[in-house]
Structures are given as C-alpha cells and as structure tokens.
Amino acid sequence: MFFRLPTLKSFALTANALASLFFVCVVVCSCSSTRHAETNLQTVLHTRPGSHQLFDSGQITNAILEFGGNHQAAFSVLKKVSSETNTIVDAGRIIDTNRFVRAGAIYGIGQLGKSVPEAAPFLWEVIYYPSKSGNDRYMAFVALKKIGFQTQDIPTLAKLLDVPASNQNFLTKLVPETISELIETNPPGATPYLSSVENLLDNPNPD
C-alpha cells in the first residue's frame, strides 16, 4: 500500500489555517480581556471608599493598568462616567450622589497622560462647560496639571482668569501658582508668552 506524501501546497494551506485560528483566538481573548477591564473600571469608579476619601485613587490606577496599552478603551469608559449625574432631594437640599464617581473618572483621565491625545482637550472642555460643578472643574485642572502644562500654555491659563469660569475660587489660586511654576522652571521658554500675563495684570476689570 502506498501513501501520498503531503505536498507543499497542503503544508501551506495547513499553515494558513493554523495562523488564522491563532489570530481569531488572539482577537477573542483581547476583546474578552478589554471587556473585563471595562467592567472592573466601572465597578471601581462607582464604589465609594469607606474612608473619608472622595474616591480610591489607587484602585482606579490599578483598574486602568488592566487595559494594558489599550488606553483608548480606558478613556472611553472614563469620559462616559465623568458626565454621569444623579441628584436627590433630602430635607430640602439637593444632593449630588455621583460627585465621587465623576471625580474619580476625571482623576483617571489625568493618569492616562499624553497617551490619549483627546484627554487634554476633553479636560479643557470640562473647565469651560457652564453646567459643570466647581469640583468637576477643579478635578479637571488637577488632571491637566498631571498630564503636564507647557510654557506655551501660559496664555490659555491666563485667560482662565478673564472668563466666567473664573468665578470658581480654585482658579484664582491655582492658575497664578501654575503660571509662576512654568516661568520659574523654564524662563527662556516662558519669555515669548509673558505679555499675556502682563496684559491680564493690566486688566482693571477681571471677572
């Protein structure tokens, strides 16, 4: 009895089939891992710590690490959660029960750093959005500082004190401090932008 030896063509077909199967397994495993990371991050963000902390920064950071290099997926979750609102009326007072949820999400966006290009522009939107609370704006500013301001941001920072958003007290303190740090850290780099600060100081009617 004679047996036909496998041809090069059959070897190639088998190799292609195995490669396709491996690719499918990788994609399925990756999607499953991302879904698990998304669920865990959602859970962490909606779980208020038992201490006096507003949110658990360590757990949020660890939850983000589960995404590996897929920071875009983490950002999608954080961005969505950062807009969640839920208010109740208790004894005539309006209470924002999702304040800690949004704060944790905005903190998480800051942890992503420059790995997600959309992160910084979104945080600026939070600061300027009229309906955002003072705490949301504060957290957005801190997150932006975590990502890192550059000397070229000095004019934009200066304008924060000359717009309606400046009715938030934290801006009147944090913005000058941040501008001073940028100037002290890199005097040559800050020089081209100092006129924006001088113009602000010369403004007799700041908001």
Residues 6+ apart with CB under 8 A from 74: 37, 41, 64, 67, 108, 112
pLDDT band at 29; cut points 50, 70, 90: very low
120-129, 131-140, 155-164: range with lowest mean pLDDT: 155-164
Closest to 43 measured CA to CA, from 105, 88, 87, 97: 105
Between 199 and 47, the more confident residue is 47
pLDDT of 64-108, one tens digit each? 999 999 999 999 999 999 999 876 666 677 777 889 999 999 999
Of the given ranges (20-29, 90-99, 109-118), which has the lowest mean pLDDT? 20-29
Confidence of residue 130 (pLDDT cuts 50, 70, 90): confident
- What is the pTM (predicted TM-score) of this model? 0.77
**CB under 8 A, 24+ apart: contacts of 33-38:** 33/66, 33/68, 34/67, 34/70, 34/73, 36/66, 37/63, 37/66, 37/67, 37/70, 37/73, 37/74, 38/73, 38/77
Is residue 14's pLDDT more than 80?
Answer: no
pLDDT at 50 over 50: yes
